[in-house]
Amino acid sequence: MHLRKMWANIGKSSYPIYIGKGVCESIGRLMRDIGLRGKCAIVTNRTVWDLHGDSVEDALLSMGYDVYVLRVPDGEACKSLDVAVQLYEELINREFDRSSVILALGGGSIGDVAGFVAATYMRGINLVQVPTTLLAQVDAAIGGKVAINHPRGKNLIGTFYQPRMVLIDIKFLKSLSTRDMRSGLAEIVKYGAILNGDFFHFVKENWEKILSLKDRELLYAIERSCRIKIRIVEKDERDERGIRALLNFGHTVGHALESAYHYSKLRHGEAVSIGMCYEALISVKMGLAKEHVYRELVHVLEEIGLPVRLSDDVNLEELIERMRHDKKTLDGEICMALPKDIGEGIFVNDVPIEVIRGALRI
């Protein structure tokens, strides 16, 4: 079995990230090795539980954990205050205390709401992230941002809370739809485009193998993405120095688009793909990047099969208004992480509205 261990040294926390194929069968032992025992609530949804619940549950039961399964609605709908309140109720009813564990088994949506509840229940209980989508494996499950949505904006209510352990098993991806695999690839392209040119070229050459789950390329893409993200988060855990903000490339436009569609219609990675294209164009229009940066990015994303343009049903002024209410907005100025070249980015905190409007109209 391929098993890779990395460490994330973030803030006061330091935790292992395991990456492998079939590694979820060892989860009970790996959790016990870091001192976790007792009650464990698996936060998941019906889709994921029916597909993968048994193997995780067996691995926990065999190591003596008291396992409780807490199901939440599928998709983005679980990232709500109502769902968080229901989870608090369940934890209180089952007398969870600060030594207990919450295990998030699912995509980024589940990781975000389970993480938010773990961060706030009794001022914080142990959290283990077991991401089951490519997007969550390369991005959402690592780095400690946890949040729920508000009707007026995505991830508006949240905090920073690092897990005790992350376990990434590529076996889970066998059942994932191609659409969700592509969505994860969007975040992988993002890392290369804004932070690492060599990795961008690797993805450009190998995306088909990643998409068709070839172990070697898939594991490499996941490991590399995790490493890039961890190194950034280690330097700027709380997004205060403009370093972590680079990871938001594609997300200023992307988040506005997701909330304009009320978090339906587009997958997160699809919105980020469209967002990266327009933000790269904005960078060109601001004279920060050469035209080929925009073209190369659009080309790769289009080849992968990701959307690269806004559809006609989007109201541009509404989109701009939503960007103004983004968390990244400072004193009413719209901020964006923009590429200067492939593999190199800069955080700009006063992107002119006229430039944004001009780019969105194309």
Ligand X SMILES: NC(=O)c1ccc[n+]([C@@H]2O[C@H](COP(=O)([O-])OP(=O)(O)OC[C@H]3O[C@@H](n4cnc5c(N)ncnc54)[C@H](O)[C@@H]3O)[C@@H](O)[C@H]2O)c1
User: Of the candidates 135, 274, 310, 335, which one interacts with ligand X according to CB under 6 A?
Assistant: 135
User: Of the candidates 57, 76, 279, 296, which one interacts with ligand X according to CB under 6 A?
Assistant: 76
Distance CA 352, CA 255 (A): 18
The minimum distance between CB 95 and ligand X, in angstroms, equals 28
The minimum distance between CB 269 and ligand X, in angstroms, equals 6
- b/e 255-279 (16+ beta carbons within 10 angstroms → b): bbbbbbeebeebbbbbbbbbbbbbb
Question: Considering the rule CB under 6 A, would residue 133 count as an interface residue with ligand X?
Answer: yes
Question: Considering the rule CB under 6 A, would residue 307 count as an interface residue with ligand X?
Answer: no
Distance CA 179, CA 160 (A): 29
The minimum distance between CB 84 and ligand X, in angstroms, equals 14
Which positions are catalytic? Answer: 123, 145, 187, 229, 240, 244, 248, 251, 255, 268
Distance CA 12, CA 162 (A): 9
Residue 249 vs 294, nearer CB to ligand X: 249
The minimum distance between CB 109 and ligand X, in angstroms, equals 3
Question: Considering the rule CB under 6 A, would residue 132 count as an interface residue with ligand X?
Answer: yes
What six digits make up the tokens of 195? Answer: 């932070």
Binding mask 171-190 for ligand X (x = CB under 6 A): -x--xx---x--x-------
CA atoms within a 13 Å half-sphere pointing along the CA-CB vector of 350: 1
The minimum distance between CB 112 and ligand X, in angstroms, equals 5
The CA-based angle 52-165-248, given to 5 degrees, is: 90
Residue 47 vs 206, nearer CB to ligand X: 47
Applying CB under 6 A, the site for ligand X has a residue count of: 30
Residue 236 contacts by C-beta under 8 Å, 6 or more apart in sequence? Answer: 242, 243, 244, 245
The minimum distance between CB 100 and ligand X, in angstroms, equals 22
Distance CA 242, CA 236 (A): 8
Question: Considering the rule CB under 6 A, would residue 136 count as an interface residue with ligand X?
Answer: yes
Binding mask 97-126 for ligand X (x = CB under 6 A): ---------xxxxx-x--------------
User: Of the candidates 21, 164, 182, 268, which one interacts with ligand X according to CB under 6 A?
Assistant: 268
Q: Which amino acid type is present at position 101?
A: V
Residue 21 vs 268, nearer CB to ligand X: 268
Distance CA 297, CA 348 (A): 19
Q: What DSSP letter does each residue of 57-121 carry, written as one string?
A: HHHHHTTT-EEEEEE--SGGGGSSHHHHHHHHHHHHHTT--TT-EEEEEESHHHHHHHHHHHHHG
Binding mask 5-44 for ligand X (x = CB under 6 A): ----------------------------------------
Start-to-end C-alpha separation, the chain: 49
84 touches 244 (CB < 8 A): no
Question: Considering the rule CB under 6 A, would residue 296 count as an interface residue with ligand X?
Answer: no
Spacing of C-alpha 37 from chain mean position: 27
Residues that bind ligand X (CB under 6 A): 45, 47-48, 51, 74-76, 79, 106-110, 112, 132-133, 135-136, 139-140, 143, 145, 155, 172, 175-176, 180, 183, 267-268
